[in-house]
Amino acid sequence: MAQPKELLIQANENVSFAVKVAGQGEPVVYLHGAGGLAWDPFLEGLSHHYQVFAPHLPGTGRSSGLENIRDLWDLILCHYDLFDRLGLDAATVIGHSLGGMIGLELAATDQSRIKQLVAICPAGLFKEEEPVPDMFAMLPHELADLMVADSSSPAAEMLRYVPSTTEERIEATIQRMQNLQAAAKFLWPIPDKGLKHRIHRIKAPTLFIWGRQDRFMPVSYADDFCNRIPHAKLALIDQAAHLVTLEQTGQVLTAIQDFLHVTEAHQNMTGGFP
Amino acid sequence: MKFIAFHLMPYRELPADFEVTYPSVWVTPPKKLFDPKKGHRMYHDYLDELEFAVDLGFDAIGVNEHHSNAYGMMPSPNLMGSILSRKVRRSDKTSLIVLGNSLASYNPPIRVAEEMAMLDVLTGGKFIAGFPVGTSMDQNYAYGINPAELRERYYEAHDLIMKTWKSDDILTYNGKYNQFRYINPWPRPAQRPHPPVWIPGGGSVETYDFSIHHNYSFSYLSYFGHKYAKKVMGPFWDRNDELGADRNPYKAGYCQIICLSETDERAQIDYEEHVRYFFNKCLHVDRRVAEAPGYRTVKSLRAGLTSQFDGTQKSASQMLKDGMGWQDLIDHGFIVAGSPATVREIMRESLQDMRVGNVVCLFHIGSMPHWLVQKNMQMFAEEVMPQLRSLFSEWDHSHYWPKGYAEDAKQEAATSG
């Protein structure tokens, strides 16, 4: 697997992003989930068809400035700043989980900046009658098992991997905690930061992708999201849970390509909005 | 040497199988286990015990704050403090310590400035203000405070409260988390400019520096006793020296479980059951809610992980899990137990060794009945405290302890104007 290059981009005076970049073609911004950003087979596959920009969330990897981001509003604005620095007037955004929530917020806030949106089992809504599990009150192996449909799969093995040397183990644990800390800043204690009041503003063509066996963000949430964005499409993927991009990489890539291809053609014909 | 009679106010009738059947004493202990009739009795026994400590001449009585916790039934220590202030005001020896109000929890934080000023006035200027960051269980899980914001909120609340106390003017404040056009809390504290401040902490460098920089008294409040406390107090004094501060023992305190009886053997008979209740049930905390991501700084996290992963330091909780007998608990310093002579000897040595001038004594442990707590406190006050009293008497404690009004000054304040 080819390693992407990493750019360090000062988005504004408060925040800088480390952005992994690879591939050729139409630019696509990928926003990772609460587990952090790793260059995995899904992103590798995506980079075979698109130019992928994958920023680390501030406070994770080499991205910095989490302490300067006061709230979700700051987080959204610094993403637009990042788009400016990357030369993306309007970007196609693919986001997973927390990254899906950020993508939805971006699309709802400034409609002109998001061209097409793919939200993969995104966070952002919360139902008291069917609460999402508290990922911040779980032991690492419990969280890993919850994320996958098959706990004996290679994806699950990868999640459970513990480095052998003490030093590597310490660094891996610290990295894990930093990823969770950054995620918690925007998801604690309940991942409802008001998206439901803004989501109706989303005009970009939107595709939701969901693992049918997702027990972290159950499929009933997919229905909720789709009901709030009438023009959205939903791709349900079998034999996959929350980490659908790792469990059914090929199917997810195909669904994304089909959607981006069709909506791109449609936008060209209609001059923009669906 | 200063002695504080401190109370956690535990629920002392948890079921025998509590630690097997339920995952945690904190955050998730089922409320159905709380019987208000029993709770009524417990609260009043505990208040009686602290009032008794005033009669016995302890330097202070102390309460603290926990939430969703079956071993610490004081979600609002200020409520208990206000009841106790009625007794403290009549005493010429005993002050009231609230250790404390976890500042980030209070919205607005000037609520703390107001209530603590009330307590200072009620006690007649014999009040110590404790400002802990608070545990992750209390602050993040039970109270929902974002772990990424907890420390910033704490520091901002601290600055706001101190600014409020130090000024007689109406202030404005434009902070990150707090904005006020008018800060003018009534009453102002009895002590000028403010009551002594103590910082309870777990031993992170950030807390050492914060305490030393402000010249507050730092207290290490674990339940693992003097040998673990020494591992924290050693680096505290090193850091204190690095920063060029004086070595006044009254800027340091630690917490100790104490079990006194007529003989060493009798102490085991009297207390073992209750000590076991404490370590087995009261410290039964679910790892899932022990620490939210971001609660500790990366620096503190790295230090903790290093000793955990390379096996250089066995944690106290791991030692407990591995099983400790009565004598192990004594040998490792978790408890100081035995006859007055035994307790005197261990405490004299450890207090001198650690150089702490304030000891936060836990006389009520776990499931202890009222009569046994009274016996414990009385024996300590009569047979241990007097002999240890002169430790560190060459040092001036007055910056870290309340001065209090004399009775006539109180009278004058009440009748003048």
Q: How far apart are CA B373 and CA B417, in angstroms?
A: 45
Q: Which long-range contacts (CB under 8 A, 24 or more apart) does A70-73 make?
A: A70/B176, A72/A105, A72/A186, A72/A193, A72/A194
Chain B interface disruption, residue of A60, A134, A139, A177, most B CBs within 10 A: A177
* Average pLDDT of the segment spanning B38-64: 98
Q: How far apart are CA B73 and CA B68, in angstroms?
A: 8
Q: Please calculate the CA angle B67-B69-B73 and round it to the nearest 5 degrees.
A: 80
Q: What is the DSSP letter of B253?
A: E
What are B's interface residues with A at a Cβ cutoff of 8 A?
Answer: 140-141, 144, 146-149, 152, 176, 287-289, 292-294, 298, 301-302, 305-306, 309-310
Chain B interface disruption, residue of A14, A145, A170, most B CBs within 10 A: A170
Instruction: Find tokens 């009150």 and name the residue.
Output: A137
The domain that contains A176 carries what CATH number? 3.40.50.1820
Asked if the Cβ–Cβ distance from A173 to B176 is below 8 Å, we say no
The helix, strand and coil proportions of chain B, stated in percent and rounded to the nearest 5, come to 50, 15, 40
| B149, B152, B287 member nearest A139 (Cβ) | B287
Q: What is the DSSP letter of B190?
A: S
Asked if the Cβ–Cβ distance from A184 to B146 is below 8 Å, we say yes
Rounded to two decimals, the ipTM of the complex is 0.91
Check the CA dihedral A209-A210-A211-A212 and report its sign.
negative
| B288, B289, B292 member nearest A184 (Cβ) | B292
Asked if the Cβ–Cβ distance from B146 to A138 is below 8 Å, we say no
Q: How near does any CA of chain A get to the CA of B339, in Å?
A: 44
pLDDT tens string B187-243: 999 999 999 999 998 888 889 999 999 999 999 999 999 999 999 999 999 999 999
Asked if the Cβ–Cβ distance from A181 to B152 is below 8 Å, we say no
**Per-residue confidence band for B417, with pLDDT thresholds at 50, 70 and 90:** very low
For residue A143, give the amino acid letter: L
Residue B160 CA, chain-centre distance (Å), reads: 22
Q: How near does any CA of chain A get to the CA of B298, in Å?
A: 7
Q: How near does any CA of chain B get to the CA of A225, in Å?
A: 26
Q: What pLDDT, on the 0 to 100 scale, is given for residue B413?
A: 55
Which residues of chain A have a CB within 8 Å of the CB of B301? 173-174, 177
Q: How far apart are CA B119 and CA A266, in angstroms?
A: 70
Which residues of chain B have a CB within 8 Å of the CB of A70? 176
Is cis: bond before B187, omega within 30 of 0? yes
Asked if the Cβ–Cβ distance from A180 to B294 is below 8 Å, we say yes
Chain A interface disruption, residue of B155, B288, B297, B312, most A CBs within 10 A: B288
End-to-end Cα, chain A, rounded Å:
36
Q: Could you tell me how many residues make up chain A?
A: 274
In this predicted structure, the answer to whether residue B406 has a pLDDT above a threshold of 60 is: no
Asked if the Cβ–Cβ distance from B149 to A66 is below 8 Å, we say no
- The answer to whether the CB of A105 falls within 8 A of the CB of A73 is no
Q: How far apart are CA B352 and CA A135, in angstroms?
A: 46
pLDDT tens string B2-24: 999 999 999 999 999 999 999 99
- The answer to whether the CB of B119 falls within 8 A of the CB of B62 is no
Q: How far apart are CA B360 and CA B340, in angstroms?
A: 18
Asked if the Cβ–Cβ distance from B149 to A138 is below 8 Å, we say no
Which residues of chain B have a CB within 8 Å of the CB of A189? 140-141, 144, 146
Q: How far apart are CA A134 and CA A141, in angstroms?
A: 14
Q: How near does any CA of chain B get to the CA of A177, in Å?
A: 6
| B176, B294, B310 member nearest A184 (Cβ) | B294
Domain count, chain A: 1
Burial A43-55 (b: 16+ CB within 10 A, else e): bbbbbebbebbbb
Asked if the Cβ–Cβ distance from A185 to B146 is below 8 Å, we say yes
pLDDT per position in chain A (274 positions), as tens?
A: 678 999 999 999 999 999 999 999 999 999 999 999 999 999 999 999 999 999 999 999 999 999 999 999 999 999 999 999 999 999 999 999 999 999 999 999 999 999 999 999 999 999 999 999 999 999 988 999 999 999 888 888 888 888 889 899 999 999 999 999 999 999 999 999 999 999 999 999 999 999 999 999 999 999 999 999 999 999 999 999 999 999 999 999 999 999 999 887 777 666 555 5
Q: How far apart are CA A117 and CA A111, in angstroms?
A: 11
Q: How far apart are CA A67 and CA B227, in angstroms?
A: 37
Chain A interface disruption, residue of B136, B286, B309, B312, most A CBs within 10 A: B309
pLDDT tens string B162-178: 999 999 999 999 999 99
Q: Report yes or no: A178 at the B interface, CB cutoff 8 Å.
A: yes
Q: Report yes or no: A139 at the B interface, CB cutoff 8 Å.
A: yes
Q: Which residue of A has its CA nearest to B310?
A: A166
**3-state SS assignment for residue B2:** strand
Q: How far apart are CA B133 and CA B354, in angstroms?
A: 23
Asked if the Cβ–Cβ distance from B288 to A137 is below 8 Å, we say yes
Q: Which residue of B has its CA nearest to A142?
A: B288
pLDDT tens string B84-130: 999 999 999 999 999 989 999 999 999 999 999 999 999 999 999 99
Helix and strand numbers (H, E) in chain B are 16, 11
**3-state SS assignment for residue B320:** helix
B19 Cβ neighbours under 8 A, 6+ residues apart: B280, B281, B284
Q: What secondary structure does DSSP assign to chain A, as a single string?
A: -PPPEEEEEE-SSS-EEEEEEE--SSEEEEE--TT-----HHHHHHHTTSEEEEEPPTTSTT-B-GGG--SHHHHHHHHHHHHHHHT-SSEEEEEETHHHHHHHHHHHH-TTSEEEEEEES------TTSPPP-GGGS-HHHHHHHH-S-TTSHHHHHHH---SSHHHHHHHHHHHHHHHHHHHHHHSS-S-SSGGGTGGG--S-EEEEEETT-SSS-HHHHHHHHHHSTT-EEEEESS--TTHHHHTHHHHHHHHHHHHHHHHHHHHHHTS--
Query: Which residue range forms the structural domain that includes residue A56?
Result: 5-270
Largest CA-CA distance found in chain B, in angstroms, rounded: 67
Query: In this structure, how many other beta carbons lie within 10 angstroms of the beta carbon of residue B3?
Result: 23
Phi, psi (rounded to 5 degrees) for A6: -120, 120
**Per-residue confidence band for B311, with pLDDT thresholds at 50, 70 and 90:** low
Asked if the Cβ–Cβ distance from A170 to B306 is below 8 Å, we say yes
Asked if the Cβ–Cβ distance from A174 to B287 is below 8 Å, we say no
CA nearest to A68, candidates A58, A80, A57: A58
Q: Report yes or no: A177 at the B interface, CB cutoff 8 Å.
A: yes
Q: How far apart are CA B203 and CA B303, in angstroms?
A: 11
* Predicted TM-score of the model (pTM): 0.93
**Strand pairing category for A16-22 and A51-55:** antiparallel
Q: What pLDDT, on the 0 to 100 scale, is given for residue B204?
A: 83
- The answer to whether the CB of A208 falls within 8 A of the CB of A124 is no
Q: Report yes or no: A189 at the B interface, CB cutoff 8 Å.
A: yes
| A70, A136, A170 member nearest B292 (Cβ) | A136
Q: How far apart are CA B399 and CA A187, in angstroms?
A: 43
